[in-house]
A = this chain, B = another copy of it.
Amino acid sequence: MAVELKDLTKRSENYSQWYNELVVKADLAEQSAVRGCMVIKPYGYAIWEKMQHELDRMFKETGHVNAYFPLLIPKSFLSREAEHVEGFAKECAVVTHYRLKNDPNGGGVVVDPAAKLEEELIIRPTSETIIWNTYKNWINSYRDLPILCNQWANVFRWEMRTRLFLRTAEFLWQEGHTAHATREEAEEEAVRMLNVYADFAEKYMALPVIKGVKSANERFAGALNTYTIEAMMQDGKALQSGTSHFLGQNFAKAFDVQFVNKENKLEYVWATSWGVSTRLMGALIMTHSDDNGLVLPPHLAPIQVVIVPIYKNAEMLAKIDEKVAGIVQRLRAMGISVKYDNADNKRPGFKFADYELKGVPVRLVMGGRDLENNTMEVMRRDTLEKETRSCEGIEQYVKDLLEEMQANIYKKALDYRNRRITTADTYDEFKQKIEEGGFILAHWDGTTETEEKIKEETKATIRCIPFDSFVPGDKEPGKCMVTGKPSQCRVIFARSY
């Protein structure tokens, strides 16, 4: 067995360490020399590319176009929207100079003090300000609306505690920024994109998510409403996986973006923004993977099928090579990505462990007896079950198996999550249950004060006020578990990433 696998910490021992090790051992990402910034390695990036591809298609199908806006934002732009600057000022990377020079004292290159910027520039933590400053020139009349732009970009937030994919100083994301003539249209857009995210999470990531709206305290800095999709990890903690913001007219007012409406009157433009990031990689890894390594949903796996030969000599390998070539060809013709690994510098046992670690959904093995019997051993990564199948029609069998696995890991994650959604009616009950993890539906009086008290005392936050119902009566009014004041409905609490 491969050394890498032996060394992987078990989830039950230390979930957090298991995750950190898995990301590195499965060749997904690693820390770089720059604090908090990661290197996304080719295998990890290939998964991200598949995510991008599907999301991009879904954005375009809903009428959006891509564009690109500057990396750097003048410091003064941030200050225009009061809550926005409050939210981001503390984690900004600041560019102050535009040149290095040779140290006259021989100390290598140093910052050239003569090249100090008049106004400092911020590396974008998000692009609302630079984009709304641009939209100002694009919008005159209702005929110019809506604007439905998306941008694939890197952003930077100087985080103090970072973890690969989950929280990094630099991360990759997409940010949609839309401009509308009416409040209703902008609100619809924000919800539409939340639904796109939820569909993507379910159909491609096999990730069940709860759609809902954030409490005022957890809103994006500058938003009137933040919608969210919340997923549950295998340790019962929540991971916010995507957000969509109804920004009202806040940024239009901050950047003076008005349009002439159909009644020939000047009005401020309505806005949304929405984003998902490489954080989704963290959600993907933590939701499905096990003590043997990654479990990847077939719809996002860079390699869907690996084929490994077991042979005693070159002659036998040549026969297997020949037999496998046709299978590879037919699988590829079905749109399935296949790797045939007949490299002779690694033993089959090493290869098995390595592809398990990397989460390749289906493994096919052909040995001497298989060659005689025209069979292959099929192993599915989600359950690790093996069976021997005839080579006749194995391509269709594998194709169906991939779809079954996609459905199976979604169902498994969904069942797990649903089992761990509970209710609490008293604060004591809540405190007890939150220690066990999972999502807790409880009544809350709607105040930030109570929310903060709960957070301080239990480390749990309100993940969202869900759109859907999860237990009977959760949409009915009740009394706040802390203050006893009236509550409209139960909200979801959890500890989170």
Question: Which residue numbers of A lie inside 8 Å of B, CB to CB?
Answer: 30, 32-34, 37-42, 45-46, 48-49, 65-79, 85, 89-102, 108-109, 111, 120-123, 130, 133-134, 137, 143, 149, 153-154, 156, 158, 170, 172, 345
The answer to whether A71 and B133 have CB atoms under 8 Å apart is no
The answer to whether A123 and B95 have CB atoms under 8 Å apart is yes
CA A91 to CA B30, docked complex, whole Å = 29
Q: What residues of B have a CB within 8 angstroms of the CB of A71 in the complex?
A: 37, 123, 154, 156, 170
Q: What residues of B have a CB within 8 angstroms of the CB of A68 in the complex?
A: 39-40, 45, 48, 172
Q: Most chain-B CB neighbours within 10 Å: which of A39, A90, A108, A120?
A: A39
Smallest CB-CB separation from A151: which chain B residue?
B45
CA A111 to CA B82, docked complex, whole Å = 17
Give the shortest distance, in Å, between A2 (CB) and chain B (any CB): 15
Interchain CB contact (< 8 A) of A100 among B38, B89, B108: B89
Known: A66-B45, A97-B94, A149-B42. A89 touches B74 (CB 8 A): no
| Copies of this protein chain in the complex | 2
Give the shortest distance, in Å, between A61 (CB) and chain B (any CB): 14
Give the shortest distance, in Å, between A44 (CB) and chain B (any CB): 8
Known: A67-B41, A70-B170, A100-B92. A109 touches B32 (CB 8 A): no
Known: A33-B74, A79-B108. 5 other contacts (CB 8 A): A33-B77, A33-B130, A38-B70, A89-B100, A94-B96
Known: A66-B49, A99-B92. A39 touches B134 (CB 8 A): yes
The answer to whether A92 and B96 have CB atoms under 8 Å apart is no
Known: A32-B134, A108-B79. A89 touches B93 (CB 8 A): no
CA A30 to CA B131, docked complex, whole Å = 13
Interchain CB contact (< 8 A) of A72 among B48, B65, B170: B170
- Shortest beta-carbon contacts, A-B, top 6: A37-B70, A42-B65, A89-B100, A40-B68, A94-B97, A98-B158
CA A97 to CA B34, docked complex, whole Å = 14
Smallest CB-CB separation from A27: which chain B residue?
B138
The answer to whether B345 and A143 have CB atoms under 8 Å apart is yes
The answer to whether A89 and B99 have CB atoms under 8 Å apart is yes
CA A91 to CA B158, docked complex, whole Å = 24
Smallest CB-CB separation from A38: which chain B residue?
B70
Smallest CB-CB separation from A154: which chain B residue?
B71
Give the shortest distance, in Å, between A356 (CB) and chain B (any CB): 21
Give the shortest distance, in Å, between A335 (CB) and chain B (any CB): 16
CA A66 to CA B47, docked complex, whole Å = 11
The answer to whether B76 and A108 have CB atoms under 8 Å apart is yes
CA A68 to CA B212, docked complex, whole Å = 32
CA A158 to CA B98, docked complex, whole Å = 6
Can you name 30 A-B pairs with beta carbons within 8 Å?
A33-B74, A33-B77, A33-B133, A34-B70, A34-B73, A34-B121, A37-B70, A40-B68, A42-B67, A45-B67, A45-B68, A46-B66, A48-B68, A68-B172, A71-B170, A72-B170, A75-B100, A75-B111, A76-B108, A79-B108, A85-B109, A89-B102, A89-B109, A90-B99, A90-B101, A92-B98, A93-B98, A94-B111, A95-B123, A96-B97
Interchain CB contact (< 8 A) of A69 among B32, B46, B48: B32
CA A149 to CA B27, docked complex, whole Å = 14
